[in-house]
Each structure stands twice: as C-alpha cells, then as structure tokens.
Amino acid sequence: MRIGVPKEIYPGEKRVATVPDVVTKLVKLGFEVVVEQGAGALADLSDEAYVEAGASVAPSAAALWSGSDIVFKVRAPTLDEVALMHEGQTLIGFLWPAQNPDLMQQLSAKKVTALSIDALPRTLSRAQKMDALTSMAGVSGYRAVVEAANAFGRFFNGQITAAGKVPPAKVFIAGAGVAGLAAIGAAASLGAIVRANDTRAEVADQVVSLGGEFVKVDYEEEGSGGGGYAKVMSEGFQAAQREMYAKQAKECDIIITTALIPGKPAPKLITAEMVQSMKPGSVIVDMAAEQGGNCELTEPGQAVVRHGVTIVGYTDLASRMARQSSTLYGTNLFRLIEELCKTKDGIINVNMQDDAIRGLTVIKDGEITWPAPPLVVPPKPAPKPAAAVAEKKGGHGHGSSGPMPVKTLAMVFGVGALAFWAIGAYAPAAFLGHFTVFVLACFIGYMVVWNVTPALHTPLMSVTNAISSIIVIGALVQILPPEAGMNGRPDQLIQWLAFAGIVLTAVNMFGGFAVTRRMLDMFRK
C-alpha cells in the first residue's frame, strides 16, 4: 500500500505528517511513501531528504491524493482536499469529529475509512506510543514558556550583579496536564519561581517533582474526569478558584493557562479585572486560545497588550517548533501503522476488536462509527467474606497459612536443641565457633533480604553488596596458598567451594552496582 503525505494548506501550519527518519521505517514495513513537493519545506525538511530516505515526490496535491491508499495529515482536510479523495482510502490525522460534524458527513459520503488521532483512548497504557495529543501538548507547553520569556523582556532567574540585584520572575501555570507540566519544567529550568494549580489533586507531586509549588484551592472537590482529563467543577469550587487566581494575578509576573476539556469551550479563568490588577509588563500566554481562551481579553491568533499586560493568544504553538513537532507526530503515526500492520507486509488491517484502534476509527468504509463505545473496565474482585478472612488469619489444620500449633512448635525447638547439644558435645571448638557464625549469618541474611517486601528488592541490591563483599573475603581466605600465611592448604573440596562462592558473589556485586546505577539514572535529567 502507498502512504501519501500532502502539504498542509491550513494558514500558518508549518508541520508535516512525517519526516525522513520515519519514512525509512515505513519502507521497512513494506509501504511505499510519496510526499507532495515542498511538504516539509516549512519544517526545514527538503524533498531531497525524503528521496534519500526512500520516498518519492508527487508534483501536485491532486497526484498525491489520487495515488495514495493511506493519507497522513496533521490538520483536518479542507473541502477541496476531501474532493480529491476516493473510495476505499484511509485518512489518518487530527479530525476532531465532535467539532466537525459536517466533515464527518463529507468523508462518509466518500466511503473512506478515517482514523482521528485525537480520539485515541488515552487511558490505555499501550496507546501511549501513539498519543499525538500528548506529544503536541508537550511541545506547546515548552513553546509557551519561550513566548512568555520573549514578551516578558526580563530575566527569569534571580541574579546579583555589580549593577544591582535582579529578582526571579514569578510564573503561575493554570492547569498541570501534559502542557502544563512541560511549561513548569521549562520555566523552572530557566530559574523562575513556578507555581501551578490543577483541579486534580493527584498531580501535586508531579508539580513539585518538576521544581514547582502546587497552589491548592481552598475547597474540597475531586477534579479527575474520564479519559485522563479534568472535569467541570461545581460553582462553589469555581468561586474559590477565581479567588485564588485573583491573588496569583497580583503577585505573579507571568501566567500560562492550559485549561481545556475536549469538545467544550475553554473555561474563563482570568477575568478582565484580574488582568488589570497585574503589574505593568506582565505576560499571559493563553494556550486555550483556539477554543476561545481562558482569559476574557484573549484574541485568538494574536498577541495584544491590555492594561499594560501582554496577552499571547497564539493558536500555533506546536507549529512554531515545526521540525520537533513533525518528528514526534511522525513517530506517533508510525507506531499506529505498526499496530495496523502487524504482519509487516505493507497492508493495514483496521481491527475493530482492538480497543485502541476502535477508539481511533471514526469512519469505517463510509460508515460513521464515532463515538466509540466506552471501554469495558474489568470488574474489581469481589471482597472475601469476613469468615474466610478470619479463617485464613487464624485457622489451623492442613493447608492453613495460620500460626504453627504449640505442640508442633515445641517439637521443632526440642529437635533443634538436641541437634545443638550433639554438635557442642562432639564437634571441635573451632567448628562450633564457625557454626555459630554461620547460623547468625543465615538469620541476618533472612532478615535483611528475604524478609523485605519484593517492591524494595531493586534498591536493596546496593545494600546486599556489603554482605557479598564479606563472603568474598571469607572465600579468599580459604583459597589462599600456604605461603600467604595459612597454617596449611585447605583440601580441594573447600577450595572449589570457595571458588564457587567468589564467582557467585562477584555476579551479585557487579549486578547490584549495575542495577543501582540504572535506578539512579532514572532520577537524573
């Protein structure tokens, strides 16, 4: 099958749906790739780069659409582009079916199959590699900080210079989703004092981990909605939230808003009065401008100055980093194609039994299939009856995990005491000392390693290296030759046991250090 990548014709759109590095991978899957002439020019990707990667170049949009089985798009197609489509074609891109019902009818009339990348069920863990919304939100959040820094005109970090002291900028971020977290990380890395708020209390730890301070609304209400998004909050919560925003507007130099719920207008978080209360020279970057904006004074697509405050309402933040965005988006589409073409023979199969693919598919062979049915959540295991729990905790008898009966426990201790008496009565004194150390070592090893929760076994690897080093020293003492200070060379059995001990503990030691290093790398930027 042939994949076509047309040039985006939406005003100001610089992204392209795939890049040369991804073209190489698509070709290996068995697909032909054709790119419209100049499709990647605004993202600094030349036609020659696509040709070197294995793609061909179509001279016009008409030639590309007519000769492609699958079309990769960024923006939803226009009426002119829909007119170029043919029956049986597959379209993949941001289609926004809830906002574009007319487009859905036009595509259905063409009897095509349409996969809307924005309809991906984001709650599926295996769908993360295809989640283009997250990829674009991350780029937009980073770019929002860059735009804010450009409009602010002062340092983000505090400095003490010969010319005087410069205080750090104070940045408040409304909404700690993917875009908000990206903005928090970027602003904190520039040295600003970063504060953030979100209706979902569980993101507080994420905000702090990125160097921000979580500002809580003085109102108790859970804000988690379906699909990984926030929900619409109650009037009481919104009133308390507005009060908190008003306070932050007076104190902060920069506000970045990210609040959006799919299919609904952007909530108005920053009022005109709040803007008027901000210090002259302050900046607001409204990332929800395309859906009306979170600020009452936002003008979508423009940067305006109101009451001495610059309000940035750009709707193309991801497009302003076109090459980076195109690379991430192209990778997301490649991961989707991998799911559609598991046979790696260049032929896709839109499997409607697959939850991720079913969620993406808004039109199948001309039939509108959006919205997808809700995902089936596996039922929680039924709680065990109280009687069964009590029996498990305190029951006795065969197969019971309860405590050992008193009579059996007494017999075990009696046999153990008899064994110790026999060893003490007939064994050499030196052996008895070593045997005591061995028993204590077994007990300590059990308490330090085996008795620890399995979730802590990985960080425990570094601690057990100390124990392993003691074992190595003991084994080396046993394997040393007589001239090294031993009273006599140990017999061959002891030497081989000592050698095996050195090998096994060496594996444990080096493995422990390797695991510990990988674990620490997870916390390094």
Q: How far apart are alpha carbons 328 and 325 in whole angstroms?
A: 5
3-state secondary structure of 241: helix
The pLDDT, as a whole number, for residue 308 is 96
Mode of pairing for the β-strands spanning 113-116 and 361-364: antiparallel
Is 0.85 topped by the overall pTM? no
Q: Percent of the chain having pLDDT more than 70?
A: 83
The pLDDT, as a whole number, for residue 124 is 81
Are 4 and 70 within 8 A, CB to CB?
A: yes
The pLDDT, as a whole number, for residue 470 is 72
Amino acid at 462: S
Instruction: Please determine, for residue 277, whether its predicted confidence score (pLDDT) is greater than 60.
Output: yes
The pLDDT, as a whole number, for residue 93 is 97
* Cis preceding-peptide flag for 59 (omega within 30 of 0): no
| Residue 449 banded pLDDT, cuts 50, 70, 90 | low
Give the mean model confidence (pLDDT) for residues 403-414: 69
Nearest to 78 by CA among 17, 11, 16, 132: 11
Q: How far apart are alpha carbons 270 and 188 in whole angstroms?
A: 22
3-state secondary structure of 393: helix
The pLDDT, as a whole number, for residue 219 is 80
Give the mean model confidence (pLDDT) for residues 192-201: 92
Q: Of the given ranges (187-191, 323-327, 490-494, 513-517), which has the lowest mean pLDDT?
A: 490-494
Question: CA separation (Å) from 185 to 75, 294, 296?
Answer: 28, 21, 27
- Helix (H) or strand (E) run with residue 4 in it: strand 2-5
Q: What angle do CA 134, 136, 137 make, to 5 degrees?
A: 60
236-258 residue pLDDT tens = 888 899 999 999 999 999 999 99
Q: How far apart are alpha carbons 80 and 312 in whole angstroms?
A: 32
The pLDDT, as a whole number, for residue 479 is 76
The pLDDT, as a whole number, for residue 247 is 95
101-145 residue pLDDT tens = 999 999 999 999 999 999 999 878 888 999 999 999 999 999 999
Mean pLDDT of the chain: 86
Question: CA separation (Å) from 412 to 408, 432, 440?
Answer: 6, 21, 18
87-107 residue pLDDT tens = 999 999 999 999 999 999 999
The pLDDT, as a whole number, for residue 68 is 97
Are 285 and 257 within 8 A, CB to CB?
A: yes
Q: Give the residue, 453 or 261, on which the prediction is more confident.
A: 261
Q: Of the given ranges (96-100, 158-162, 291-295), which has the lowest mean pLDDT?
A: 158-162
Are 113 and 350 within 8 A, CB to CB?
A: yes
383-398 residue pLDDT tens = 656 555 455 544 444 4
Give the mean model confidence (pLDDT) for residues 5-15: 96
Q: How far apart are alpha carbons 156 and 520 in whole angstroms?
A: 29
Count the Cβ atoms, other than its own, within 10 Å of residue 32. Answer: 18
DSSP state of 127: G
Count the Cβ atoms, other than its own, within 10 Å of residue 348. Answer: 24
309-331 residue pLDDT tens = 999 999 999 999 999 999 999 99
The pLDDT, as a whole number, for residue 238 is 84
Q: Give the residue, 322 or 472, on which the prediction is more confident.
A: 322
Give the mean model confidence (pLDDT) for residues 183-206: 93
Question: CA separation (Å) from 244 to 183, 240, 276, 286?
Answer: 20, 6, 16, 18
Instruction: Please determine, for residue 452, whether its predicted confidence score (pLDDT) is greater than 70.
Output: no
Q: CB-based burial of residue 483 (10 Å sphere; 0-12 exposed, 13-18 middle, 19+ buried)?
A: exposed
197-246 residue pLDDT tens = 998 888 999 999 999 999 998 887 765 555 555 556 778 888 899 999 99
Q: Of the given ranges (81-95, 375-389, 430-444, 489-503), which has the lowest mean pLDDT?
A: 375-389
| Residue 457 banded pLDDT, cuts 50, 70, 90 | low
